Structure 1
Amino acid sequence: MTPLSLFQRIGRAFSITCACLLLAACGTTKTPTDPTAGWTAERLYQDAKAEMSAGNWAQARTRLEQVEARYPFGIYAQQALIDQAYINWKDEEPEQALAAIDRFQKQYPNHPGSDYMLYLKGLISFTPPSASLMKFTMQDPSERDPKGLSESYEAFMQLIERYPDSRYANDARLRARWLVNTIAQNEVHVAEYYYSRHAYVAAINRAQRVITDFQGVPIAERALYIMYLSYDKLGQTELRDDIKRVMDQNYPNSEYFKTGLKKKVNYWNPINWF
């Protein structure tokens, strides 16, 4: 036997031995078992609630998804969807939370928890993930993109109109009232921007929207003053004087004629909502 053939035989034998050991190892490896296999819907849900209480959002979400997947037609599946919306909101996943609410409203339009879901929908848009940063920067909420503010207002108004006796209705009314003021103030911010850029017609149009669409809001005084200034810049003295008469009648002690637009208005953080 040549040295080469001997080495070939040894190598071949070693390969066969390794293959056999590998097969043996595979045969003894156990497939990981699901510790929740066989759990009832109630047990899965109670475990999810325990994880929620501990603030373990990821684990709670997993359990709630298991409830929905394994027991899709029971009462626990309905409650699991409600809790998923809440968990996603607390875990700063607003889009997933809103998706869960939308799915719930389509699947269970007459559910007793529908008022809560509308309330939660309003809260999600009311307090975006950036709210925690706004708390430190003291940014005026009216400087935010008004889309979220409007969506929040619509959700709260639906709750108030459809469920006036809901336990969430009073808080929704307070928030809706604040939102009206804040959305109106956003319009004034835009009007001021146009005025500072000498776009006086655009400034008038924006300020006019506050007067017509948000009657009675505190920021209306500032909106009227922007209209007064803009008409003056355009040389439309009759319209300017009309605005002056309206302001004298409704705001006889208006400070704007003394301070101009330097006076700032900030509706920051009403009753610690953020």
Structure 2
Amino acid sequence: MFGGFAVLPRFQSISVRPKRLTAGAVLVLAAFALAGCGGGLPGKDVFSGGLFNKKETGPEMDSRPPEVIYGEAETLMNEQKYKDAAQKYEDVDINHPYSQEARHSIVMAAYSYYKVGKYTEAISAGQRYLTLHPGTEEAPLAQNIIAMSYYDQVLDPKRDQTNARKALGAYETLLQRYSDSRYAAEAQNRVLILRNLLAANEMTVGRYYLRNNNYLAAINRFRDVVTKYQQTEQVEEALMRLTEAYLALGIVNEAETAAAVLGHNFPDSKWYKHAYALLQKKGRQPQEHEGSWITQTFEGSGNPA
């Protein structure tokens, strides 16, 4: 077991393998390439079926059976030599792309890359596996590796959250497609964490706009929190800030509605007290107005409004 992942067992030699080039055929192909015959594409990799093709002239072939190369990869994995293990798993796919071992090697290469922090390579290998083998038992593992690779690159709420959004999407995909997998419970927890993080990021940007009197931009950020991340702890402040921003623009009906919805759903919230005080200064009271997007959003979510 590695970090909660089950390492796949070694496999017995399978009876059907791709045909290999004879020594004579290899010499003929080499002579053809050296002769510079017309019609070929410069730098075209002859062996394009493998997982990764880093050399323009194609990787060196390993004629050993796939189970032998796979076994070496397993040994490296057990020794926690993840970078070398990833390369060895690639070798299985490059040299024996139609073997059973090749299928398992793709997902194990993804995991090996993840272990050494090569997240781009891990994501690429995981996506390749899901493209080729979406319905297999290792598919949840591949999806989880993709999600974790994005998750481990997530930054604090004040920074760009591209990876957080990608991680959230990857975990939501895992829950939609593989809800019964061993990774589902952790995925659910991380979805909550990521939604709170993204909501916090929207609030940070929204407050900045509000301080600089850019009220429309601020409203758009707070609206995203209310519509996209309604189940997070950030939604209470978002409704109060909407009250503040709408009042600043003179859009009183929406300001009153935001405060009313805040009071109905979070009557003991400190943010409701702030929103109520803002309205009182203008001689207004919290009340919902028909047709407000805020009311419609909370009605659609099943929350009392």
Same fold (TM over 0.5): yes
In structure 2, the partner of 1:94 is 119
In structure 2, the partner of 1:63 is 88
CA distance in 2 between counterparts of 1:44 and 1:109 reads: 24
The structural deviation recorded for 1:55 is 2.4
In structure 2, the partner of 1:43 is 68
Amino acid aligned to 2:134: P
Identity within the alignment, %: 27
- Residue 85 (1) aligns with residue 100 (2): no
Instruction: Give per-residue Cα distances to partners, 1:126-150, cap 9 Å, x unaligned.
Output: 111xx6xx6xxxxxx3334222112
CA distance in 1 between counterparts of 2:94 and 2:128 reads: 15
Instruction: Give per-residue Cα distances to partners, 1:153-181, cap 9 Å, x unaligned.
Output: 22212221222211111211221222222
In structure 2, the partner of 1:154 is 169
Instruction: Give per-residue Cα distances to partners, 1:13-43, cap 9 Å, x unaligned.
Output: xxxxxxxxxxxxxxxxxxxxxxx96643222
Amino acid aligned to 2:162: K
CA distance in 2 between counterparts of 1:84 and 1:184 reads: 34
Matches within 5 A, 1:1-274: 39-128=64-153, 141-256=156-271
The structural deviation recorded for 1:221 is 0.6
The structural deviation recorded for 1:113 is 0.8
Higher RCO structure (Cα 8 Å, ≥6 apart): 1
Structure with the higher fraction of residues in helix conformation: 1
Comparing 147-156 and 113-122, the one that deviates more = 147-156
Amino acid aligned to 1:151: K
CA distance in 1 between counterparts of 2:232 and 2:150 reads: 22
CA distance in 2 between counterparts of 1:199 and 1:100 reads: 44
Instruction: Give per-residue Cα distances to partners, 1:34-90, cap 9 Å, x unaligned.
Output: xx9664322222221221222222321232122122222112111111111111112
CA distance in 2 between counterparts of 1:38 and 1:251 reads: 68
CA distance in 2 between counterparts of 1:236 and 1:65 reads: 61
Change (3 A) 1:253 1:37: closer
CA distance in 2 between counterparts of 1:259 and 1:243 reads: 12
Comparing 37-46 and 82-91, the one that deviates more = 37-46
Amino acid aligned to 1:54: E
The structural deviation recorded for 1:118 is 0.9
The TM-score, its normalising length taken from structure 1, stands at 0.71
CA distance in 2 between counterparts of 1:144 and 1:181 reads: 14
RMSD (CA atoms): 2.4
Change (3 A) 1:257 1:119: same
The structural deviation recorded for 1:258 is 7.2
Secondary structure of 1:145 counterpart? coil
CA distance in 2 between counterparts of 1:78 and 1:184 reads: 39
Q: Report if aligned partners of 2:127, 2:142 keep a CA contact under 8 Å in 1.
A: no
CA distance in 2 between counterparts of 1:257 and 1:109 reads: 48
The structural deviation recorded for 1:105 is 1.8
Change (3 A) 1:68 1:219: same
The TM-score, its normalising length taken from structure 2, stands at 0.64
- Which protein shows a greater Rg? 1
Structure 2 gap ranges (5+): 1-60, 276-305
